[in-house]
Chain A
Amino acid sequence: AQTVTQSQPEMSVQEAETVTLSCTYDTSENNYYLFWYKQPPSRQMILVIRQEAYKQQNATENRFSVNFQKAAKSFSLKISDSQLGDTAMYFCAFMRGSGGGADGLTFGKGTHLIIQP
């Protein structure tokens, strides 16, 4: 079984600052996917970024980027030029890669990110 650990229950930064959210995971799988999801107060789950384990290049999506360290099983999310709308719960998630069918996501406990004006 795999586990996902987010060690920062809450973080607070000023608007326009850069913030990094930590995530570590444990798995014996070699083929897998990692995700960061955002959950605002509306509780809608919004995909922020995704990383395939077989790719060495770190994924980026506009202001969001990851630092994927496969050997260390670390997958941190960096948010640049943070905005008030970034305030939300952020969940790190793991999914096994399998050609035989889809797998559900294993989520970390989440980090509550607060962007202060």
Chain B
Amino acid sequence: GAVVSQHPSWVICKSGTSVKIECRSLDFQATTMFWYRQFPKQSLMLMATSNEGSKATYEQGVEKDKFLINHASLTLSTLTVTSAHPEDSSFYICSAIDTWDQPQHFGDGTRLSIL
């Protein structure tokens, strides 16, 4: 149980385009979803926290207008990287929980490459 699916797993696109990444909880209702970013050979950094039906809470230094997060249902959150540039290239990972005191369940991540 507790499976989180993330799609796509790898995307390559041209600079200036927008890219949407989906994060789905397949067998539980995710009251909260998190988005992390991981640069090569580095740790995961929390970007934002998203609760179903409300606006996401972004960490300091994360541009809200560049990284749009939508959590419209209890099983789906999306991260849209708008007007992507090469410096946005990274590994993006989502996680989800059903109750606040339970461990986060991670998706398999999305490798984003901006040319």
User: Which A residues contact B (CB, under 8 angstroms)?
Assistant: 33, 35, 42-45, 47, 50, 91, 97-99, 101-110
User: 8 smallest A-B Cβ distances: which pairs?
Assistant: A104-B46, A45-B106, A102-B100, A102-B32, A107-B43, A104-B34, A107-B44, A109-B43
User: How far, in angstroms, from A105 to B101 measured CA to CA in the complex?
Assistant: 12
Number of B residues whose C-beta is below 8 Å from A? Answer: 24
Return B16 CB to nearest CB of chain A, in Å. 27
Nearest residue, chain B, Cβ from A44: B108
When the two chains form their complex, are residues A101 and B32 in contact, meaning their CB atoms are under 8 A apart? yes
Q: Which B residues between 1 and 59 are near A, CB-CB below 8 angstroms?
A: 31-32, 34, 36, 38, 42-46, 49, 51, 59
When the two chains form their complex, are residues A99 and B100 in contact, meaning their CB atoms are under 8 A apart? yes
Return A10 CB to nearest CB of chain B, in Å. 11
B contacts with A: majority SS:
strand
When the two chains form their complex, are residues A102 and B97 in contact, meaning their CB atoms are under 8 A apart? yes
Return chain B residues, CB-CB under 8 Å to A104: 34, 36, 46, 49, 59
User: Which B residues contact A (CB, under 8 angstroms)?
Assistant: 31-32, 34, 36, 38, 42-46, 49, 51, 59, 91, 93, 95, 97, 100-101, 103-104, 106, 108-109
When the two chains form their complex, are residues A102 and B103 in contact, meaning their CB atoms are under 8 A apart? no
Return B95 CB to nearest CB of chain A, in Å. 7
- How many pairs, one residue from A and one from B, have CB atoms within 8 Å of each other in the complex? 53
When the two chains form their complex, are residues A45 and B43 in contact, meaning their CB atoms are under 8 A apart? no
Return chain B residues, CB-CB under 8 Å to A50: 103
Nearest residue, chain B, Cβ from A93: B44
Return chain A residues, CB-CB under 8 Å to B100: 98-99, 101-103
Return chain A residues, CB-CB under 8 Å to B44: 45, 91, 105, 107
Return chain B residues, CB-CB under 8 Å to A35: 103
**Given contacts A45-B106, A102-B100, could you give 9 more A-B pairs where the C-beta distance is less than 8 Å?**
A35-B103, A42-B108, A102-B97, A104-B34, A104-B36, A104-B49, A104-B59, A105-B36, A105-B104
Given A105-B44, A109-B43: A45 and B95 interface contact (C-beta under 8 Å): yes
When the two chains form their complex, are residues B103 and A47 in contact, meaning their CB atoms are under 8 A apart? yes
